[in-house]
Amino acid sequence: MSKSIPTREDNYSEWYNEIVKRADLAEHSPVRGCMVIKPYGFAIWEKMQKALDDMFKETGHQNAYFPLFVPKSFLELEEQHAEGFAKECAVVTHYRLKSNPDGKGLIVDENSRLEEPLVVRPTSEAVIWHSYKNWIQSWRDLPVLINQWSNVVRWEMRTRLFLRTSEFLWQEGHTAHETEAEALEETGKMLGVYAEFVEQWMAVPVLQGVKTASERFAGAIDTYCIEALMQDGKALQAGTSHFLGQNFARSFDVKFVNKENELDYPWATSWGVSTRLIGALIMAHSDDKGLVLPPKLAPIQVVIVPIFRTDEDLAKINEKVEPLLAELKAKGIPYKYDDDDKYKPGYKFAEYELKGVPVRMAIGLRDLENGTIELARRDELSKQTLPFDGIVGHIESLLAEIQQNLYDRALSFREANTFSVDTWDAFKARIEQGGFVLAHWDGTDETEEKIKQETKATIRLIPLNSIEMAGKCVYSGKESAKRVVFARAY
């Protein structure tokens, strides 16, 4: 028997790593910092992708695809953008290998050096705005509302599966607008889409706000974000939406004739979420027995395990269960009927508990005699015996109840771990305990950096629509208009 999973209290980091491994979500690849997403983990990503893609299309966006390689000169056109990503870029300089003259392996063919180095896509603003120059000539061509599902590479030195890897999967929206107001509206709209998805599908409550200047996306005028609180008291940025102004349009000389018949530059946004959301899903809900999944994102919402000794027993159970399976299918409820005889029921129960399947049912010969079925819910680790008739209606209600219960539980945790402090001593003590800390800040980069150096806490966001309430900065004592949200973060 394999050893038990480390508890969250004993070793949160190892607990997380073991869940990713044992729930069969992902594994390390031969390439340092990269991961292999296994079928069960990718099935969760597919459900996320499908839900988000539907939401993007409902808001008028279309999918497209742009090259993996970005000419270095493109990246350099927007100076802040180039500077922000320079240290994370993987660069292609040659296009061919050849046999080593000593007969051992392959070496780079120096005759294949590229005229210009190519950067492996860290993000796509540069290559996309080069295309937009050809797409946009008139105000009639606007808005351009494009989304791309792709992979990106940002060379990381310290990695953790899903949370921070050198290559990851994501979507990146890139839009162009006639006016500043329209671009700002788009930025806010997409932040709202992300918040809706994370709260309603992932069952994770989020705060919405704007990043400080030091934390904003390279090349953006403003970066808006959603932040979630994990069970260890650390924050995790769950999505960002950037107002890019006219920076990229100017850098790539994208102009259009406006309604006044004058040349103007379009206004831009970009926004994205990644497979990091799977890490958030794990850390927000899971427990010491394994993964806990909200039903909306569970690859299997219901598993039915027949308990039998002989083929005749199984045949009787199959006859009873077949109409149930047909009804689940008709209702669109993803299920698995596990009649595999290679493993005993106890092993299966533990495996599905580890994989976070929301509802598990078991049925044996005694249940057939009594007209019952045993039902267990993963979120509460509880089980009960219920009448077999009408069980699908009960399951439908239960899945919705579990989804809401996970959200309510996460919200209660966040509320219990959100604190307002007014002094530097109180701030330092509270940060050590974890959670969101609401405190006054004087608005200077210098103070922000000193707080980060002394406590490892960063300003996660300046909340949107928060009440203006004057106070004194906890660090400098200078005037402050309102509180911002500090936390240690992933």
Spell out the per-residue pLDDT of the chain, length 490, in tens.
457 899 999 999 999 999 999 999 999 999 989 999 999 999 999 999 999 999 999 999 999 999 999 999 999 998 888 888 999 999 999 999 999 998 889 999 999 999 999 999 999 999 999 999 999 999 999 999 999 999 999 998 888 999 999 999 999 999 999 999 999 999 999 999 999 999 999 999 999 999 999 999 999 999 999 999 999 999 999 999 999 999 999 999 999 999 999 999 999 999 999 999 999 999 999 999 999 999 999 999 999 999 999 999 999 999 999 999 999 999 999 999 999 999 999 999 999 999 999 999 999 999 999 999 999 999 999 999 999 999 999 999 999 999 999 999 999 999 999 999 999 999 999 999 999 999 999 999 999 999 999 999 999 999 998 777 899 999 999 999 999 999 999 9
Kindly report, as residue ranges, where domains of CATH 3.30.930.10 are found in the chain: 12-91+119-285
pTM, rounded to two decimals? 0.96
Q: How far apart are CA 123 and CA 72, in angstroms?
A: 13
Burial of 84 (0-12, 13-18, 19+ CB in 10 A): middle
Answer CATH for 12-91+119-285 from 3.30.505.50, 3.40.50.150, 1.20.120.640, 3.30.930.10 = 3.30.930.10
Kindly report, as residue ranges, where domains of CATH 3.30.110.30 are found in the chain: 418-487
Structure tokens at 131: 């295309």
What residues pair up with 306 in beta bridges, in sequence order? 363
Q: What is the CA radius of gyration of the chain?
A: 26
The domain covering 298-413 belongs, at the CATH homologous superfamily level, to Anticodon-binding domain (3.40.50.800)
Q: Read out DSSP for 417-463? A: TEEE--SHHHHHHHHHH-SEEEEE--S-HHHHHHHHHHHS-EEEEEE
Residue type, 481: A
Q: Scanning the structure block, which residue is given the tokens 């705060």?
A: 207
Q: How far apart are CA 168 and CA 88, in angstroms?
A: 13
Which phi and psi (to 5°) does residue 183 adopt?
-65, -40
Q: How far apart are CA 449 and CA 215, in angstroms?
A: 11
Residue 435 contacts residue 470 (beta carbons within 8 Å): no
- What per-residue string of b and e applies to 229-266 under the rule 16 or more CB within 10 Å gives b? bbbbbbbbbbbbbbbbbbbbbebbebbbebeeeeebbb
Residue 440 contacts residue 471 (beta carbons within 8 Å): yes
Write down the number of H helices and E strands in the chain.
Answer: 14, 27
What residues pair up with 302 in beta bridges, in sequence order? 335, 359
Kindly report, as residue ranges, where domains of CATH 3.40.50.800 are found in the chain: 298-413
Q: How confident is the model at residue 467, as a pLDDT?
A: 75
Q: Scanning the structure block, which residue is given the tokens 């004739």?
A: 257
Residue 173 contacts residue 269 (beta carbons within 8 Å): yes
Q: Which CATH class is domain 418-487?
A: alpha beta
Look at phi and psi of residue 218 and say left if phi exceeds 0, alpha if psi is from -120 to 50, else beta: beta
